[in-house]
Structure 1
C-alpha cells in the first residue's frame, strides 16, 4: 500500500479533469529503455479501472467510480475502440505518471474516455507544466453479460461523469 492519492480533480479552462497517479513497473520498458506501446494500453486500463470501478470495502475511489466491477453484477464494459498518439518517449521513473482523464462523449450505452499521459506531478516545471507523453481515446460500451446487448448508461453514471465532460481529442496526424 502506498501513500499516493487514488485521484485528484482539477478544473481547467477545458473542463474538469481527473488525475490518476499510475506507477511504472520496470517490466513496462522495452529494449530502448522507454515504455513499450503495449504497456501503454495497460497503463490506460489501470487508470480506467481506478477511475470507474466502485471501490471495495476499505478502499478509496474518486467520485467517478460508479461501475460495479464484480461478475455478479451482470454488466460488462467492453472496449470498442482505442487510439493513442505518442508525443514523447516515456522513460522509467520512480514517481507515478499523471494520467489525466475526462469524457469526450457520453453516449446511450457508451463513453468516450480521453486521456493525457503526463510526466509526474513531482517533476513538473516551476510554472506547473508537465511533459505530455501521449494522448489517447478509448470507447467503452456497457453490455448486459447475459444477452451481449448494449445497456443504457444509468442516471447515476451520467451524474457522476457529466462534470468531467470536455472536448474530445483531435489527433494531429490523422489522414
Structure 2
C-alpha cells in the first residue's frame, strides 16, 4: 500500500549548539507528518472523525545519524503497521535522497475530547488508515 510522504522544513531554532537538529525536535517533525496524514488528508478524503481527537500512547525513536541544519526540507514517510479496535501504530522514516536519519513509531489512541476518555476506531477511520497500511519494511 501507499506511504504518506511529507516534506518537512527545518527551522533555524531547531538547531543545537553543534549545528545538528536537536533530538527532541524530531518528535515535532513526526507530529507534523502525522497531523498532515490524519487531519489534512483524512479531511480531504471526507473523513473528519480524527479531528475528534487522538492521543499518543507511546513513541519509539532510533536516531541513526545526525541531521545538520540546512534550508532544504527532509522527507518523512509515514505508514500504518497495526490497527486494533482502539489503537493504531504508525511507523516513520525521516530521510533525504541519500541518508536515513531517523526511524520511529507511535501508538495512537482515538480520544473522545467531550467525555475525556479513549474511544474505538470508527469504520470510516479504519478504512482511511487501511490505505496507508504497509508491511513495515524499512530501508537499510
User: Take 1:65 and 1:89, find their aligned partners in 2: how far apart are those partners?
Assistant: 37
| C-alpha contact (below 8 Å) 1:110/1:142 kept by paired residues | yes
TM-score by length of 2: 0.86
Alignment RMSD: 2.2
Alignment of 1:16-95 (within 5 A): 16-54=2-40, 63=45, 66-69=48-51, 75-95=52-72
Greater Rg by CA: 1
CA displacement, residues 81-102 of structure 1 (integer Å, 9 cap, x when unaligned): 0010011111112121100000
User: Take 1:89 and 1:104, find their aligned partners in 2: how far apart are those partners?
Assistant: 26
TM-score by length of 1: 0.70
Structure 1: runs of 5+ lacking an equivalent: 1-14, 56-60, 70-74, 125-129, 171-175
Larger helix share, 1 or 2: 2
Name the SS of the counterpart of 1:160 in structure 2. helix
Total equivalences in the alignment: 137
Which structure carries more relative contact order (alpha carbon 8 Å, separation 6+)? 2
Structure 2: runs of 5+ lacking an equivalent: none
